[in-house]
Amino acid sequence: MNTFGNIFRFTDFGESHGAAIGGVIDGCPAGLTIDFLAIQHDLDRRAGRDSQFSVSERAKHEADKVEFLSGIYDGITLGTPIAFIIWNTDAKPEDYEAISDIYRPGHADFTYQAKYGIRDPRGGGRASARETAARVVAGSIAKQILSKKGIGINAIVTQVGNETEPENFPTLLSDIKQKGDSIGGIVSCTVSGLPIGIGEPVFDKLHARLAYAIMSINACKGFEYGSGFDGIDKCGSQLNSYSGGALGGISDGTDFCFRCVFKPTPSISQEQHLPDGSQLTIHGRHDVCVALRAPVIVEAMTALTLVDLICLNDR
Amino acid sequence: MNTFGNIFRFTDFGESHGAAIGGVIDGCPAGLTIDFLAIQHDLDRRAGRDSQFSVSERAKHEADKVEFLSGIYDGITLGTPIAFIIWNTDAKPEDYEAISDIYRPGHADFTYQAKYGIRDPRGGGRASARETAARVVAGSIAKQILSKKGIGINAIVTQVGNETEPENFPTLLSDIKQKGDSIGGIVSCTVSGLPIGIGEPVFDKLHARLAYAIMSINACKGFEYGSGFDGIDKCGSQLNSYSGGALGGISDGTDFCFRCVFKPTPSISQEQHLPDGSQLTIHGRHDVCVALRAPVIVEAMTALTLVDLICLNDR
Amino acid sequence: MNTFGNIFRFTDFGESHGAAIGGVIDGCPAGLTIDFLAIQHDLDRRAGRDSQFSVSERAKHEADKVEFLSGIYDGITLGTPIAFIIWNTDAKPEDYEAISDIYRPGHADFTYQAKYGIRDPRGGGRASARETAARVVAGSIAKQILSKKGIGINAIVTQVGNETEPENFPTLLSDIKQKGDSIGGIVSCTVSGLPIGIGEPVFDKLHARLAYAIMSINACKGFEYGSGFDGIDKCGSQLNSYSGGALGGISDGTDFCFRCVFKPTPSISQEQHLPDGSQLTIHGRHDVCVALRAPVIVEAMTALTLVDLICLNDR
Amino acid sequence: MNTFGNIFRFTDFGESHGAAIGGVIDGCPAGLTIDFLAIQHDLDRRAGRDSQFSVSERAKHEADKVEFLSGIYDGITLGTPIAFIIWNTDAKPEDYEAISDIYRPGHADFTYQAKYGIRDPRGGGRASARETAARVVAGSIAKQILSKKGIGINAIVTQVGNETEPENFPTLLSDIKQKGDSIGGIVSCTVSGLPIGIGEPVFDKLHARLAYAIMSINACKGFEYGSGFDGIDKCGSQLNSYSGGALGGISDGTDFCFRCVFKPTPSISQEQHLPDGSQLTIHGRHDVCVALRAPVIVEAMTALTLVDLICLNDR
């Protein structure tokens, strides 16, 4: 359940304010020289340390430094499981004591408690977006594997609220931030250089596996590829020439293009009314728009999916 | 790859014009009395035999009758694999001989040939939507399991092209049909009665697994739940009270609501221009809007997903 | 649970006296020309129709003829699921009515009833050795894949009771048969031509996966490879030069040699005393020694295991 | 490949002289109070620190202390992945430099190099028996789950070489040790209190899954249950009353009894002749009989198997 993939497999663990988060990559080919700087670069992209709209108080103080425990010898993969951890050095459980018995609106506090009968109340525990840092490490290695095959993945934010002009994003974000509110966004991703034949009929279609991967990212509410929902007013005679990158679920040699939407972060500074009539104010700084930090996670999940499907196709 | 699910597992086989299509359901609880009429009813819904817009020439002549080979004794499940077949009695391979060396636009002919180096040229072979009949049989049994738990699944067509008023669908469809063209549609689905706690962190979130299941249906181009893409212009303060049925990927006791979009069928009567400069006319009657026949398939894939996740949660 | 393998996967279904038994092979490479005669030859070996010691009344009347439903076009595999069935033409449920409420000693009647709360009482249902016919079909195709890679599998009976001289087997078997009793046997199997590197650390060692495969055959009570149990009185200095075909669970280029033991069939003609004090006589002809028919099943399970591990290694 | 189990899943990582070994347990029920002392006790049993025949130089200096990173909060499981590590504090890579380009007889040095094209030459790397410490941690937690259900697992050494009298083991072992040689042994294991119905037809029979689990332990060469190989000279009329704990692969309510054989450790002090004509002497102290330390590992693999099968049965 916490393992992603069939042949190139990534197992992910860790609570937001536990000792550490991390993962195990199994099925990584032997002989790959790991680019550790590229991994750190991706972790930094996710942390969004440069942005006034996405940096959290924690990210400011805690650099995500990954430590590899196995599977790599002299910088080269052994073909054995690659385990890694990121210590939660800035864990501040006391910040969450005040709200440990409150189910925050739009968060998973309630459903975890109901499902397991117990939960780690510190910062969302396992449901925290901090978990995605481990995905980024694994995804960064997957991107290195793909890069050697000439496959590129590029994800960017193409919409914030109703705004589609990137130069206008800051204005809108400042406005939302000032109100103590949050806003959604859309990330667009293009995969180039994918060989023909990737994807498996009938359940493991390329786009079905990608939809699963992307929708598993926190706050993601929708996925579409090719003509997507916007193609609804087009006829067959107009769309037959645009596949979006796959036919019958199998890559066709054109760029694979998809979009996904992220809801506004539910943690907002505004006072919120709870179902029981009480009121809640969540302190600390929070992301104005989680979509801003999503591209590197979208790339990671895309890369993990593609490496696994390529392994399956090449068997 | 042709198996769906982890504990309640459905393996699917068959080419459109081979001897038969069918499947094997593994992990079905013992002691379930099968409602065979309900299965046939779902198969008839999929065939769309009553509709002037969706019936194919084949569906007119060939009733999909399912034959069970194992796993059921005196109408009751044994807990062993349930195998079933639907014979391809009306298979007319000769209809496809003329186009066996042509890659039809928007179809999977080209990608299958490239992936496998061989393909069954008769009617799309494995990539044909005929394969979904087997999904409907398995899904119908899954719906019977869910029904006993008080869980209902209801999918309907809510949009055809830009038209959202059902009474106007026929007018639009007649128009498209007359032009020898095809049009896309949107199916909306609601799951009611789902207990709290279904769905697994972090990869197997309820909506991630459903996205995978639904996007694996032929011609599906997008999936969204809750506020989806349309929620892009809402703020966190507005959306925190609407989850769409899951928080942190785990069902929260409210109805789970999702929508999916189907592209226009690529098989159209109009003359089409191929990349090599030649022209192609596809004969026979074809669906004007495949979305019309999709609801029962959407229900089937939803049911297969839910039974599997419920088994996982109840372990 | 009724699926064997990870990449080259075999799903098996059917009760002994239901409509049919059969299976689905998923992950078979495209472009393989199937040798149907070889499959029938293996089915005939399993039926043991020529032997006075292993033929059952049923095998005399019912030839196991396999019918392929999908995945093969003009005798060549398509890369899609290969479904096949063997009809139970000679099913005689009435033979079992008299004992439908009795738990036969040494059989699975009791455990199936306890596990599922229901069972097919006709001839052992799913627990019948008839199920192994489907394994033989799938295994025969797997052997054809291996054969093209120069890999051979050869299993023979090397011991019946305490007798290790094949020419003395008939004498011993006649004696046991006359007493209305049954006897165990040992099957030895050699895999030649296996490339170096097959088998995965640490759980999916070559011999661990083979032990799983072989021990899943009805009546098998033990598995050993290389020096096995008999090596117990040897020292490290003596055994270091003999691996049995694998080191660290990975094939080392020498022949892989293993042995497995089959218990006497529990169905015997002698009157048996049941725990409740009553007496049971099982009519019909039964195998004197099930090990006699086991070699082709041992080869099948070995082949299914090896093709899957080779696919995994070649990814 | 480095993950064991389907629902209760254990992923294992680490090289003998890398930074750490460890694992991730996924699917552990929430709400279990962990007995950390019991885990340490099992780790100490495996280290064999008290025995003059099994202690290695390394075990003398390095206590295996496990550190939990996730999935446990205030000593209680959260239902999320339980990650743990054991640091390789006494790793002495320099000890292995001299033999880093030698393939030690009976070891996996050669097959790893051939399979991956690279290997960690320090102490066997991933193939080292040190990896089993992680199995013991996971298995100890699995035993705690089983214990609450009244299920007990007990494994002991019942034979060393040809000697079956425990009081004579030391004499024999002293003799072998003095010669700088090693000897094999047999471990017998009994599972009591197992409910009826555990094990899945047809491939995942209780004994087939156990055979897979046990045979995956380093140096194991054979597995048998019930009458096993020794039952070869018994007739059906004699054996029908003794199942060994399973009928048709499903537990029948009696104790499940199995035996497994471990070869002599290939690391011996005697001078050994290599295939190329050269001679090798392996320095350091090595186990005289690895079977002595195996019981706790046998119990661990048995427990991991049973918890997984019980989860599957209870779904």
CA distance C161 to C152: 28
Closest by CA to D82, choosing from D31, D138, D36, is: D138
**CATH architecture of the region C3-313:** 4-Layer Sandwich (3.60)
Residue type, D158: T
Identify the band that residue B60 occupies on the pLDDT scale cut at 50, 70 and 90. Answer: low
Burial C261-274 (b: 16+ CB within 10 A, else e): bbbbbbbbbeebee
CA B238 to chain centre: 33
Query: Cβ of D312 and B314 within 8 Å?
Result: no
Nearest CA in chain C to A200: C80
CA distance D201 to C218: 10
Identify the band that residue A247 occupies on the pLDDT scale cut at 50, 70 and 90. Answer: very high
pTM: 0.96
User: For residue D57, is pLDDT > 60?
Assistant: no
User: For residue A55, is pLDDT > 60?
Assistant: no
User: For residue D122, is pLDDT > 90?
Assistant: no
Token pair listed for D69: 């990173």
- Identify the pLDDT of residue A121: 84
Nearest CA in chain A to C8: A315
Closest by CA to B301, choosing from B228, B225, B216, B223, is: B216
Residues above pLDDT 90, as percent of chain B: 77
Q: Please give the average per-residue pLDDT across B26-33, as a whole number.
A: 97
Query: Cβ of A15 and D83 within 8 Å?
Result: no
Q: Please give the average per-residue pLDDT across D302-315, as a whole number.
A: 94
- Weakest-pLDDT range from A66-75, B60-69, C29-38, C69-78: B60-69
Rounded to the nearest integer, the mean pLDDT of chain D is 92
CA distance B235 to B242: 12
Query: Longest Cα pair distance anywhere in chain C, in angstroms?
Result: 61
- Identify the pLDDT of residue C89: 85
Residue C13 DSSP symbol: E
In this structure, are residues D99 and D107 in contact, taking their beta carbons and an 8 Å threshold? no
Which residue of B158, B177, B227, B237 to mutate against A (max A Cβ within 10 Å)?
Answer: B237
- Rg of chain B taking only CA atoms, in angstroms: 20
All residues of chain C having their beta carbon less than 8 Å from the beta carbon of residue D267 are 236
All residues of chain C having their beta carbon less than 8 Å from the beta carbon of residue D114 are 196-197, 250
Pick from C98-107, C272-281, D2-11 the range whose average pLDDT is largest.
D2-11
- The three-state (H, E, C) secondary structure of D148-172, written as one string: HCCCEEEEEEEEECCECCHHHHHHH
Question: How many CA atoms within 13 Å lie on the side-chain side of C212?
Answer: 27
For chain A, the DSSP string reads: --EE-SSSEEEEE--TTSSEEEEEEESPPTTPBP-HHHHHHHHHHHHTTT-TTT--HHHHH-----EE-SSEETTEE-SS-EEEEEE-TT--GGGGGGGTTS--TTSSHHHHHHHHS----STTGGGSGGGHHHHHHHHHHHHHHHHHTT-EEEEEEEEETTB--GGGHHHHHHHHHHTT--B-EEEEEEEESPPTT-S-SSSS-HHHHHHHHHHTSTTEEEEEETTTGGGGG-BHHHHTT--SSEETTEE-SSPEEEEEEEPPPS--SS-EE-TTS-EE---S---S-GGGG-HHHHHHHHHHHHHHHHHHHH-
Which residue of C24, C82, C135 to mutate against B (max B Cβ within 10 Å)?
Answer: C24
Identify residues of A whose CB sits under 8 angstroms from chain D CBs: 1-3, 9, 11-15, 18-22, 24, 26-27, 30-31, 67-71, 73, 76, 78-83, 85, 115-120, 125-126
Query: Cβ of A311 and C314 within 8 Å?
Result: no
Question: How many CA atoms within 13 Å lie on the side-chain side of A292?
Answer: 26
Instruction: For chain B, list the contacting chains (3+ Cβ pairs, <8 Å).
Output: A, C, D
Q: What is the pLDDT of residues B213-245, one digit of tens each?
A: 999 999 999 999 999 999 998 999 998 888 999
Question: How many CA atoms within 13 Å lie on the side-chain side of D179?
Answer: 13
CA distance C196 to A28: 20
CA distance C278 to C300: 40
User: For residue D73, is pLDDT > 70?
Assistant: yes
CA distance A61 to A54: 14
CA B13 to chain centre: 15
User: For residue D188, is pLDDT > 90?
Assistant: yes
Residue D235 DSSP symbol: B
CA distance C9 to A7: 14
Instruction: For chain A, list the contacting chains (3+ Cβ pairs, <8 Å).
Output: B, C, D
User: For residue B57, is pLDDT > 60?
Assistant: no
Token pair listed for D242: 């003794």
Nearest CA in chain B to D6: B6
CA distance C146 to C296: 15
Query: Cβ of C248 and D159 within 8 Å?
Result: no
- Weakest-pLDDT range from B159-163, C105-109, C248-252: C105-109
Residues above pLDDT 90, as percent of chain D: 77
User: For residue C190, is pLDDT > 90?
Assistant: yes
Give the one of A3, A67, A83 whose C-beta lies nearest to D3's C-beta.
Answer: A3
In this structure, are residues A190 and A281 in contact, taking their beta carbons and an 8 Å threshold? no
Q: Please give the average per-residue pLDDT across B4-21, as a whole number.
A: 96
Cα–Cα distances (Å) from C302 to A150, C39, C246, C310, in that order, read 38, 16, 15, 12
Q: Please give the average per-residue pLDDT across B287-295, as a whole number.
A: 95
Token pair listed for C67: 């019918």
Nearest CA in chain D to B314: D315
Chain B nearest CA to A126, separation (Å): 8
Identify the band that residue B311 occupies on the pLDDT scale cut at 50, 70 and 90. Answer: very high
- Identify the pLDDT of residue C281: 83
Query: Cβ of D78 and A9 within 8 Å?
Result: no
Give the one of C27, C201, C315 whose C-beta lies nearest to A314's C-beta.
Answer: C315
Cα–Cα distances (Å) from B48 to A308, B186, B213, C238, in that order, read 37, 17, 22, 73
Query: Between chain A and chain B, how many beta carbons pairs sit less than 8 Å apart?
Result: 287
All residues of chain A having their beta carbon less than 8 Å from the beta carbon of residue C199 are none
Q: Please give the average per-residue pLDDT across D256-266, as a whole number.
A: 96
Q: What is the pLDDT of residues A168-227, one digit of tens each?
A: 999 999 999 999 999 999 999 999 999 999 999 999 999 999 999 999 999 999 999 999
Chain D nearest CA to C106, separation (Å): 5
CA distance D55 to D60: 7
Nearest CA in chain A to C315: A315
Closest by CA to C204, choosing from C310, C75, C81, C49, is: C310
For B197, residues 6+ apart whose C-beta sits below 8 A from its C-beta are A111, A114, A115, B250, B251, B313
- Identify the pLDDT of residue B288: 93
Residue type, B265: T
Given the DSSP bridges, would you call strands A185-192 and A256-262 parallel, antiparallel or unpaired?
A: antiparallel
CA distance B180 to C222: 67
Query: Cβ of D73 and A18 within 8 Å?
Result: yes
User: For residue C31, is pLDDT > 70?
Assistant: yes
Query: Cβ of B240 and A268 within 8 Å?
Result: yes
User: For residue B96, is pLDDT > 90?
Assistant: no
Token pair listed for D312: 């599957």
CA dihedral (C299, C304, C309, C315) positive or negative:
positive
Nearest CA in chain D to B311: D315
CA dihedral (A97, A100, A102, A107) positive or negative:
positive
All residues of chain A having their beta carbon less than 8 Å from the beta carbon of residue D2 are 24, 26, 80-81
All residues of chain B having their beta carbon less than 8 Å from the beta carbon of residue A200 are 1
All residues of chain D having their beta carbon less than 8 Å from the beta carbon of residue B80 are 201
Q: Please give the average per-residue pLDDT across C86-93, as a whole number.
A: 79
Chain A nearest CA to C310, separation (Å): 9
Chain C nearest CA to D308, separation (Å): 12
CA distance B137 to B42: 8
All residues of chain B having their beta carbon less than 8 Å from the beta carbon of residue A226 are 221, 263
Identify the band that residue D97 occupies on the pLDDT scale cut at 50, 70 and 90. Answer: low
User: For residue D223, is pLDDT > 80?
Assistant: yes
Residue C235 DSSP symbol: B
For C140-169, the DSSP string reads: HHHHHHHHHTT-EEEEEEEEETTB--GGGH
Residues above pLDDT 70, as percent of chain A: 94
Token pair listed for B98: 């003329």
Cα–Cα distances (Å) from D143 to D38, D67, D130, D136, in that order, read 10, 19, 20, 10
E strand or H helix that includes residue C171: helix C169-178
Strand partners, C163: C160
Identify residues of B whose CB sits under 8 angstroms from chain D CBs: 6-7, 27, 80, 201, 311-312, 314-315
CA distance B120 to B93: 10
User: For residue B97, is pLDDT > 70?
Assistant: no
E strand or H helix that includes residue D299: helix D295-314
Global ipTM: 0.96
Chain A nearest CA to C232, separation (Å): 32
Report domain extents, chain A.
3-313
- Identify the pLDDT of residue D273: 82
Identify the band that residue C314 occupies on the pLDDT scale cut at 50, 70 and 90. Answer: confident
pLDDT: which is higher, C124 or D153: D153
Phi, psi of B87 (to 5 degrees): -70, 145
All residues of chain C having their beta carbon less than 8 Å from the beta carbon of residue B75 are none
Query: Between chain A and chain C, how many beta carbons pairs sit less than 8 Å apart?
Result: 18
All residues of chain A having their beta carbon less than 8 Å from the beta carbon of residue C315 are 7, 27, 311-312, 314-315
- Weakest-pLDDT range from A92-96, B20-24, D226-230: A92-96
How many other CB atoms sit within 10 Å of the CB of residue D148?
11
CA distance B200 to A115: 9
Query: Cβ of C111 and D12 within 8 Å?
Result: no
Query: Cβ of C315 and A201 within 8 Å?
Result: no
Residue type, A146: L
For C205, residues 6+ apart whose C-beta sits below 8 A from its C-beta are C199, C246, C248, C249, C250, D215, D216
Query: Longest Cα pair distance anywhere in chain A, in angstroms?
Result: 61
Which residue of C80, C84, C119 to mutate against B (max B Cβ within 10 Å)?
Answer: C80
Query: Cβ of A14 and D68 within 8 Å?
Result: no
pLDDT: which is higher, A91 or D86: D86
Q: What is the pLDDT of residues D127-171, one digit of tens each?
A: 999 999 999 999 999 999 999 999 999 999 999 999 999 999 999
- Identify the pLDDT of residue B115: 95
Query: Cβ of D314 and B315 within 8 Å?
Result: yes
Chain C nearest CA to D63, separation (Å): 23
Q: Please give the average per-residue pLDDT across C36-42, as a whole number.
A: 97
What does the angle CA B240 – CA A274 – CA A293 come to, to the nearest 5 degrees?
Answer: 30
CA A96 to chain centre: 24
Closest by CA to B305, choosing from B235, B240, B219, B209, is: B209
Chain C nearest CA to D278, separation (Å): 15
Query: Cβ of C126 and D201 within 8 Å?
Result: yes
pLDDT: which is higher, D275 or B269: B269
- Rg of chain D taking only CA atoms, in angstroms: 20
- Identify the pLDDT of residue B234: 92
- Identify the pLDDT of residue D269: 86
Identify the band that residue A49 occupies on the pLDDT scale cut at 50, 70 and 90. Answer: confident
Rounded to the nearest integer, the mean pLDDT of chain B is 92
Only one residue has tokens 């440069």, namely: A50
Closest by CA to D19, choosing from D91, D70, D94, D69, is: D91
CA dihedral (C295, C128, C172, C213) positive or negative:
positive
Give the one of D80, D201, D315 whose C-beta lies nearest to B7's C-beta.
Answer: D315
CA B20 to chain centre: 19
Which residue of C26, C78, C113, C131 to mutate against B (max B Cβ within 10 Å)?
Answer: C78
- Identify the pLDDT of residue A60: 62
